Chains A and B, each alone.
Chain A
Amino acid sequence: KAGVTQTPRYLIKTRGQQVTLSCSPISGHRSVSWYQQTPGQGLQFLFEYFSETQRNKGNFPGRFSGRQFSNSRSEMNVSTLELGDSALYLCASSPTGVKDTQYFGPGTRLTVL
């Protein structure tokens, strides 16, 4: 079974731009969660989607948004990028949600200049 894939793997943007990241879960998994990892704040939960609905949300500003498609693939969007948004963005999939074993993708390294 193929693992979780994320595209692109690396991204460089400038302040004020917006960015869209993509995550394809393991086949059959309906839950996709997104995380931001930085040296200062560690790994923080952004949001979780299940069957195309946002089920949980972390403490991030509204510039961070996401969606999930009928095939469970998910996208995360960050608008009006700030320098502090530079991070490794990870997504994870599971059959039913964050209470399940989480299967992580390799991440997208976003650098904001």
Chain B
Amino acid sequence: KQEVTQIPAALSVPEGENLVLNCSFTDSAIYNLQWFRQDPGKGLTSLLLIQSSQREQTSGRLNASLDKSSGRSTLYIAASQPGDSATYLCAVTGYSSASKIIFGSGTRLSIRP
């Protein structure tokens, strides 16, 4: 059974710092991995999607990497800004046509001005 873990549960850093969020999964047979952002009381916004054959994806100040063999993904945020404050969730999907999407519990990120 696939399990997705995100550590730490919360992180606070000063503005301008580069930071890394971690995501680990127990079953390496994934189809893809997605990173999402969620603002309080709101829905999720997709940030990056990495296919199982890819090692990384980049969008602006965000870079996500994937290491299937070790069951890990990282989300790197460069030059953090207060507007980056949100909860970040990762989610994995398997190969089966009946595959479900499994979410981690998220990392709550706070950027201090």
Cβ-neighbour of A58 out of B32, B46, B49, B100 (below 8 A)? B100
Q: How many residues of A contact B (CB 8 A)?
A: 23
Chain B contributes a number of interface residues (CB within 8 A of A) equal to 24
A43 adjacent to B89 (CB under 8 Å): yes
Residue in chain B with minimal CB distance to A105: B43
Beta-carbon contact of A45 and B102 below 8 Å: yes
Q: Which partner residue on chain B sits nearest A3 by CB separation? A: B43
Which of A4, A42, A99 is B93 in contact with, Cβ under 8 Å? A99
A-B contact count (CB 8 A): 57
Contact B100 A104 (CB under 8 A): no
6 A-B pairs whose Cβ atoms sit less than 8 Å apart in the complex: A43-B44, A58-B100, A99-B31, A99-B93, A102-B46, A109-B41
Residues of A within 8 A of B (CB): 4, 33, 42-45, 48, 55-56, 58, 88, 90, 92, 98-99, 101-107, 109
Chain B interface (Cβ within 8 Å of chain A)? 31-32, 34, 36, 41-46, 49, 89, 91, 93, 97-106
